[in-house]
Amino acid sequence: MYDGIIQTATLAAGLLGEMVPMMIAGVFLAEVLVALNVAGRIAALSRPLTSFACLREECGTSFLMAFVSPPAANAMLMDYHAKEIISRKELVIAAVMNSFPTVVMHWRYLLPVYIPLLGIPGLIYFGLLMLVGLAKTAFVMVLGRVILTPTSCTQVIPAEGPAVTLQEALRTACTSSKKILVRLLSITVPTIVIVAFLINAGVFDRLAGMMQGAGAIFPVPPEGFAIIAAQFGSFVAGASVASALLAAGDMTWQQIVLTLLVGNVLTSVTRSIRWLGSSYVAIFGMRTGTEIMLVSTVLRNGIMACLVAVLAYGLEWG
């Protein structure tokens, strides 16, 4: 019992240590940009995307921030929503769009593993992941254009006023950030503690076991289930097993890519609940965070499943 409490506390502290600084940075940066009256110039870089999706320009600033830190970017969105700059619908759509920069930045740790172990098939697999992320973002942008009212496209970033010094902007941001950070942290801390408890209780491990059993419904050769099982441990383990099977000639490179995609679909369910779920709920609250997680996961897995079906059909008739 005592060991379990210590393990939960240690894991929760680690998760909070990763998330809270980025959350604070995101809210604080949003306030600094507003105080300096430069948010509009930054958002202009992503204006074609936000304009098409009928999102306000502040969402463009958050989208660009997601290439650096997704938690900070989502904290910026929550800050805008708390100030009633963006609506709840805009918040959900913008948060799902923010997941694309996260996928793009996966190259930092995916490519150094998949290229050495799998070569060209690893590069193809990474490219397909990018394609799925791009398709999901495009779908969400079209959805925003359909369901958001035309007035949502109106620029609401205030026009530039008198020049503000950096020191004044920092002082203003410190004051304005406190209220929203207190609200966010009051949700974040207990949420992360609960997630840490569930992880140590083995809830997600049992869920992963259930998802492995669901792999039988996908067109994966028998040898490929070893890859999927390893992927539930880590993407490095999955790539290592795939590399061994490819080198031994037990599976073709097309089967390897297909199996990795199937494993990605299956592991994404537990991964979303375990990590993305805790992140979204911690930042956006239980209702909105769960909605964002579900929309993002369902869209991504739906597109991935269609891609798997197309590739499987091509292998069968190729």
Rounded distance between C-alpha atoms, residue 37 and residue 41, angstroms: 9
Q: What is the arithmetic mean of pLDDT over 146-164?
A: 58
Q: Determine the pLDDT at residue 142.
A: 94
Q: Report the share of the chain in percent with pLDDT over 70.
A: 78
CA-to-CA separations, 97 to 11, 48, 77, 113, in angstroms, rounded? 29, 13, 12, 26
Q: What is the arithmetic mean of pLDDT over 231-254?
A: 85
Confidence category of residue 120, pLDDT binned at 50, 70, 90: very high
Q: What is the arithmetic mean of pLDDT over 25-44?
A: 69
Of the two residues 173 and 137, the one the predictor is more confident about is: 137
Q: What is the DSSP code string of the chain?
A: -HHHHHHHHHHHHHHHHHHHHHHHHHHHHHHHHHHHT-HHHHHGGGHHHHHHTT--HHHHHHHHHTTT-HHHHHHHHHHHHHTTSS-HHHHHHHHHHTHHHHHHTTHHHHHHHHHHHHSHHHHHHHHHHHHHHHHHHHHHHHHHHHHS-GGGGS--SPPP-S---HHHHHHHHHHHHHHHHHHHHHHHHHHHHHHHHHHHTTHHHHHHHHHHHGGGGS---TTHHHHHHHHTT-HHHHHHHHHHHHHHTSS-HHHHHHHHHHHHHHHHHHHIIIIIHHHHHHHH-HHHHHHHHHHHHHHHHHHHHHHHHHHHHHHHH-
Q: What is the arithmetic mean of pLDDT over 77-105?
A: 88
Confidence category of residue 167, pLDDT binned at 50, 70, 90: confident
Q: Determine the pLDDT at residue 156.
A: 45
Q: What is the arithmetic mean of pLDDT over 41-63?
A: 81
Looking at the predicted structure, is the pLDDT value of residue 159 above 50? no
Q: What is the arithmetic mean of pLDDT over 30-44?
A: 67
Rounded distance between C-alpha atoms, residue 244 and residue 251, angstroms: 10
Top mean pLDDT of 26-40, 70-84, 118-132, 237-251 is at 118-132
Confidence category of residue 83, pLDDT binned at 50, 70, 90: confident
Q: Determine the pLDDT at residue 276.
A: 62
End-to-end CA distance of the chain: 57
Looking at the predicted structure, is the pLDDT value of residue 131 above 50? yes
Handedness of CA 273, 275, 277, 278 (dihedral sign): positive
* Average pLDDT of every residue of the chain: 79
Looking at the predicted structure, is the pLDDT value of residue 214 above 60? no
Looking at the predicted structure, is the pLDDT value of residue 158 above 50? no
Q: What is the arithmetic mean of pLDDT over 136-157?
A: 76
Q: Determine the pLDDT at residue 228.
A: 84
Q: Determine the pLDDT at residue 160.
A: 47
Structure tokens at 163: 């020049």
Q: Determine the pLDDT at residue 234.
A: 76
Looking at the predicted structure, is the pLDDT value of residue 39 above 70? no
Q: Determine the pLDDT at residue 209.
A: 61
Q: Determine the pLDDT at residue 66.
A: 85
Q: What is the arithmetic mean of pLDDT over 60-73?
A: 82
273, amino acid identity: I
Looking at the predicted structure, is the pLDDT value of residue 190 above 60? yes
